[in-house]
Amino acid sequence: MAPDEKAELLDWLERGRRAFRDSLAGMTEAEAARAPGTDRWSALDCAEHVAVVEEYLYTRLLEGRPAAGEPIPPAREAKIRERAADRSRPVPAPEAATPHGRYATLAEALTAFEAARARTIAFVEGCGEDLRAKVTEHPILKTATCHETLLMMAAHPERHAKQIAEIRGR
Protein backbone atom coordinates (compact mmCIF):
# COMPACT_ATOMS: atom_id res chain seq x y z
CA MET A 1 0.00 0.00 0.00
CA ALA A 2 1.38 3.40 -0.95
CA PRO A 3 2.29 5.60 2.04
CA ASP A 4 -0.17 8.33 1.03
CA GLU A 5 -3.03 5.81 0.74
CA LYS A 6 -2.11 4.30 4.09
CA ALA A 7 -2.13 7.77 5.69
CA GLU A 8 -5.51 8.53 4.12
CA LEU A 9 -7.03 5.26 5.35
CA LEU A 10 -5.64 5.79 8.84
CA ASP A 11 -7.03 9.32 8.91
CA TRP A 12 -10.46 8.15 7.78
CA LEU A 13 -10.49 5.27 10.28
CA GLU A 14 -9.63 7.68 13.08
CA ARG A 15 -12.20 10.22 11.88
CA GLY A 16 -14.91 7.54 11.95
CA ARG A 17 -13.91 6.44 15.43
CA ARG A 18 -13.92 10.01 16.69
CA ALA A 19 -17.29 10.85 15.07
CA PHE A 20 -18.89 7.78 16.61
CA ARG A 21 -17.40 8.39 20.06
CA ASP A 22 -18.39 12.08 19.92
CA SER A 23 -21.97 11.21 18.92
CA LEU A 24 -22.34 9.30 22.19
CA ALA A 25 -20.62 11.86 24.44
CA GLY A 26 -22.64 12.71 27.51
CA MET A 27 -25.35 10.14 26.81
CA THR A 28 -26.58 8.28 29.85
CA GLU A 29 -27.15 4.54 29.79
CA ALA A 30 -30.91 5.16 30.09
CA GLU A 31 -30.86 7.51 27.09
CA ALA A 32 -28.75 5.05 25.12
CA ALA A 33 -31.19 2.21 25.73
CA ARG A 34 -34.26 4.24 24.71
CA ALA A 35 -35.33 3.57 21.11
CA PRO A 36 -37.03 6.42 19.23
CA GLY A 37 -39.73 4.02 17.97
CA THR A 38 -40.67 0.37 17.85
CA ASP A 39 -39.01 -0.11 14.46
CA ARG A 40 -35.96 2.06 15.19
CA TRP A 41 -32.68 1.31 16.90
CA SER A 42 -31.54 2.90 20.13
CA ALA A 43 -28.05 4.37 20.49
CA LEU A 44 -27.08 1.18 22.35
CA ASP A 45 -28.36 -0.84 19.39
CA CYS A 46 -26.27 1.31 17.04
CA ALA A 47 -23.18 0.83 19.21
CA GLU A 48 -23.69 -2.93 19.29
CA HIS A 49 -24.12 -3.02 15.51
CA VAL A 50 -21.02 -0.91 14.86
CA ALA A 51 -18.89 -3.10 17.16
CA VAL A 52 -20.16 -6.34 15.61
CA VAL A 53 -19.66 -5.11 12.04
CA GLU A 54 -16.14 -3.88 12.76
CA GLU A 55 -15.17 -7.27 14.16
CA TYR A 56 -16.85 -9.15 11.32
CA LEU A 57 -15.22 -7.10 8.56
CA TYR A 58 -11.83 -7.28 10.25
CA THR A 59 -12.12 -11.07 10.11
CA ARG A 60 -13.00 -10.81 6.41
CA LEU A 61 -9.83 -8.75 5.85
CA LEU A 62 -7.72 -11.45 7.45
CA GLU A 63 -9.37 -14.01 5.13
CA GLY A 64 -8.55 -11.93 2.03
CA ARG A 65 -7.32 -13.93 -0.94
CA PRO A 66 -5.59 -13.00 -4.19
CA ALA A 67 -8.00 -11.50 -6.70
CA ALA A 68 -8.77 -13.71 -9.67
CA GLY A 69 -10.92 -13.16 -12.71
CA GLU A 70 -12.51 -9.87 -13.66
CA PRO A 71 -11.06 -6.90 -11.79
CA ILE A 72 -13.40 -4.83 -9.66
CA PRO A 73 -13.93 -1.42 -11.29
CA PRO A 74 -11.87 1.25 -9.51
CA ALA A 75 -14.80 3.68 -9.82
CA ARG A 76 -16.55 1.72 -7.06
CA GLU A 77 -14.09 3.18 -4.54
CA ALA A 78 -15.26 6.69 -5.41
CA LYS A 79 -18.87 5.64 -4.86
CA ILE A 80 -17.96 4.15 -1.49
CA ARG A 81 -16.24 7.38 -0.46
CA GLU A 82 -19.28 9.39 -1.55
CA ARG A 83 -22.09 7.20 -0.27
CA ALA A 84 -20.99 4.92 2.55
CA ALA A 85 -21.75 7.40 5.34
CA ASP A 86 -24.86 8.83 3.62
CA ARG A 87 -28.07 8.19 5.55
CA SER A 88 -30.44 9.33 2.80
CA ARG A 89 -30.72 5.73 1.55
CA PRO A 90 -31.75 3.06 4.02
CA VAL A 91 -29.45 0.05 4.07
CA PRO A 92 -30.86 -2.93 5.95
CA ALA A 93 -28.38 -4.62 8.23
CA PRO A 94 -27.66 -8.28 7.59
CA GLU A 95 -29.30 -10.48 10.22
CA ALA A 96 -25.93 -11.38 11.77
CA ALA A 97 -25.26 -7.69 12.39
CA THR A 98 -28.62 -6.70 13.81
CA PRO A 99 -28.67 -5.80 17.50
CA HIS A 100 -29.61 -8.66 19.82
CA GLY A 101 -28.53 -7.34 23.22
CA ARG A 102 -24.96 -8.62 23.00
CA TYR A 103 -23.83 -5.79 25.28
CA ALA A 104 -25.56 -4.84 28.51
CA THR A 105 -24.37 -1.24 28.48
CA LEU A 106 -23.34 1.48 26.07
CA ALA A 107 -19.94 1.59 27.74
CA GLU A 108 -19.45 -2.12 27.08
CA ALA A 109 -20.45 -1.78 23.40
CA LEU A 110 -18.22 1.25 22.91
CA THR A 111 -15.27 -0.57 24.51
CA ALA A 112 -15.82 -3.49 22.10
CA PHE A 113 -15.92 -1.11 19.12
CA GLU A 114 -12.78 0.73 20.28
CA ALA A 115 -10.88 -2.55 20.65
CA ALA A 116 -11.99 -3.75 17.22
CA ARG A 117 -11.14 -0.41 15.60
CA ALA A 118 -7.70 -0.46 17.25
CA ARG A 119 -7.08 -3.86 15.62
CA THR A 120 -8.18 -2.48 12.26
CA ILE A 121 -5.84 0.50 12.60
CA ALA A 122 -2.95 -1.78 13.60
CA PHE A 123 -3.68 -3.93 10.53
CA VAL A 124 -3.43 -0.90 8.24
CA GLU A 125 -0.31 0.43 9.99
CA GLY A 126 1.47 -2.89 9.47
CA CYS A 127 0.18 -3.57 5.98
CA GLY A 128 2.70 -3.65 3.16
CA GLU A 129 0.45 -5.42 0.64
CA ASP A 130 -1.57 -4.07 -2.25
CA LEU A 131 -5.04 -4.49 -0.78
CA ARG A 132 -6.62 -3.89 -4.17
CA ALA A 133 -5.05 -7.17 -5.30
CA LYS A 134 -6.84 -9.10 -2.55
CA VAL A 135 -10.55 -9.77 -2.30
CA THR A 136 -12.93 -10.82 0.42
CA GLU A 137 -16.67 -11.05 0.91
CA HIS A 138 -18.71 -8.09 2.09
CA PRO A 139 -22.40 -8.41 3.04
CA ILE A 140 -23.42 -5.48 0.82
CA LEU A 141 -20.74 -5.29 -1.87
CA LYS A 142 -20.45 -9.08 -2.20
CA THR A 143 -16.94 -9.66 -3.59
CA ALA A 144 -14.90 -6.61 -2.64
CA THR A 145 -11.25 -5.70 -2.58
CA CYS A 146 -9.74 -5.52 0.87
CA HIS A 147 -9.13 -1.82 0.19
CA GLU A 148 -12.86 -1.30 -0.47
CA THR A 149 -13.66 -3.21 2.69
CA LEU A 150 -11.45 -0.84 4.68
CA LEU A 151 -13.17 2.15 3.09
CA MET A 152 -16.53 0.74 4.16
CA MET A 153 -15.20 0.07 7.65
CA ALA A 154 -13.89 3.62 7.92
CA ALA A 155 -17.23 5.18 6.93
CA HIS A 156 -19.54 2.84 8.83
CA PRO A 157 -19.25 4.47 12.28
CA GLU A 158 -19.80 7.91 10.69
CA ARG A 159 -23.06 6.68 9.21
CA HIS A 160 -24.24 5.56 12.64
CA ALA A 161 -22.95 8.71 14.33
CA LYS A 162 -25.42 10.53 12.08
CA GLN A 163 -28.14 8.09 13.13
CA ILE A 164 -27.37 8.78 16.79
CA ALA A 165 -27.56 12.51 16.09
CA GLU A 166 -31.04 11.88 14.64
CA ILE A 167 -32.01 9.92 17.77
CA ARG A 168 -30.79 12.80 19.93
CA GLY A 169 -32.62 15.36 17.80
CA ARG A 170 -29.44 17.18 16.74
User: Any idea what the CATH number is for the domain that residue 100 is in?
Assistant: 1.20.120.450
As for how many domains the chain has, the answer is: 1
Which residue range is the domain that position 53 belongs to? 3-168
142 sits in which H/E element = strand 142-145
As beta bridge partners, residue 144 has: 136
- Look up the pTM and report it: 0.96
CA–CA gap between residue 86 and residue 58 (Å, rounded):
22
CA–CA gap between residue 48 and residue 113 (Å, rounded):
8
Confidence category of residue 49, pLDDT binned at 50, 70, 90: very high
Can you give the pLDDT at residue 2? 87
Confidence category of residue 139, pLDDT binned at 50, 70, 90: very high
